[in-house]
């Protein structure tokens, strides 16, 4: 085999005319995937459940094979499409009649913030990092967790946020990037401080250092009472 053989790299053993067939196969698979998305509804990827993403990936794999490989016939891909569409409709019907099956395939919403405090153990179970979660909250206009009455990670991965009215905002952990607020193991002045891991609020005196009673973390940041600016 000759290295850097441009003909081999471009076409391998297929004739140049096969490129026209690739175009036809690609159009065929595009139509199948489009029809499948029409059947499942006009939802974006972030709105899809894990089960729906799995169906799309399976169909995409079959579509990719038939688009590029000359020895893969086109009719079996149509059978794959029909089978997956029927399976999707069947599973949707079964889930509408079985809450346990729906929880198994779709998952359950997870409460991440409750009354201004981070449910950090549930966040770990949901395989969600503080960086990802705090970024989502900042995009919703949140500066500190005391502004949030309830925050839920939905089954499609999106974050729902319910806010306190301004007059009910609590002291909370500031969720701005780390360079925007210092962390302490020994607090410099008396006041309210938030555990940087679990967001627990504790009143501390100047020079005091202690572990968080909730999660045993030694680092604290000054609690914020900032209200939302809308």
| pLDDT tens-place string over residues 32-66 | 777 777 776 645 555 666 677 777 777 777 777 77
pLDDT at 220 over 90: yes
Q: What is the pLDDT at residue 165?
A: 94
Written as six digits, the tokens of 170 are: 């609590």
C-alpha span between 104 and 95 (Å, rounded)? 9
SS3 40: helix
User: Comparing 203 with 44, which gets the higher pLDDT?
Assistant: 203
Written as six digits, the tokens of 198 are: 């679990």
Q: What is the pLDDT at residue 102?
A: 79
Q: Which helix (H) or strand (E) holds 56?
A: helix 50-68
Q: Starting from the edge strand earliest in sequence, which strands make up the sheet with 110-114, in order?
A: 117-118, 110-114, 148-153, 159-163
- Name the pTM for this structure: 0.65
Q: What is the pLDDT at residue 164?
A: 95
Q: What is the pLDDT at residue 146?
A: 95
Half-sphere exposure of 39 (CA within 13 A, CB side): 20
Q: Mean pLDDT score of the chain, rounded to an integer?
A: 82
Q: Which distant-in-sequence residues (6+ apart) come within 8 Å of 73 by Cβ? A: 66
Domains of the chain as residue ranges with CATH: 6-104 (no CATH), 110-222 (3.30.240.20)
pLDDT digits (tens, 9 = 90+) for 119-141: 877 877 777 788 888 998 999 99
Give the pLDDT band of residue 11 (cuts 50, 70, 90). low
Mean pLDDT score, 133-153: 92
pLDDT digits (tens, 9 = 90+) for 155-183: 777 889 999 999 999 999 999 887 778 89
């Amino acid at each position: 085999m000759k290295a850097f053989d441009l003909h081999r790299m471009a076409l391998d053993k297929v004739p140049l005319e096969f490129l026209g067939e690739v175009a036809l196969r690609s159009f065929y698979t595009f139509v199948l995937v489009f029809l499948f998305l029409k059947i499942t509804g006009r939802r974006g990827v972030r709105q899809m459940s894990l089960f729906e993403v799995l169906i799309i990936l399976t169909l995409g794999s079959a579509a990719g094979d038939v688009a590029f490989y000359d020895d893969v016939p086109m009719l079996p891909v149509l059978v794959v499409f029909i089978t997956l569409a029927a399976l999707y409709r069947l599973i949707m019907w079964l889930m509408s009649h079985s809450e346990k099956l729906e929880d198994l395939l779709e998952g359950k919403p997870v409460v991440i913030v409750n009354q201004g405090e981070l449910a950090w153990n549930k966040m770990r179970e949901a395989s969600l990092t503080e960086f990802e979660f705090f970024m989502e909250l900042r995009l919703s206009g949140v500066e500190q967790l005391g502004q949030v009455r309830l925050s839920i990670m939905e089954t499609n991965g999106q974050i729902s946020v319910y806010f306190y009215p301004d007059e009910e905002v609590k002291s909370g952990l500031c969720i701005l990037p780390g360079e925007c607020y210092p962390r302490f193991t020994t607090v410099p002045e008396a006041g309210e401080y938030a555990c940087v891991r679990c967001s627990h609020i504790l009143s501390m005196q100047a020079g005091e250092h202690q572990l968080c009673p909730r999660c045993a973390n030694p680092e604290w940041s000054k609690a914020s009472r900032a209200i939302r600016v809308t």
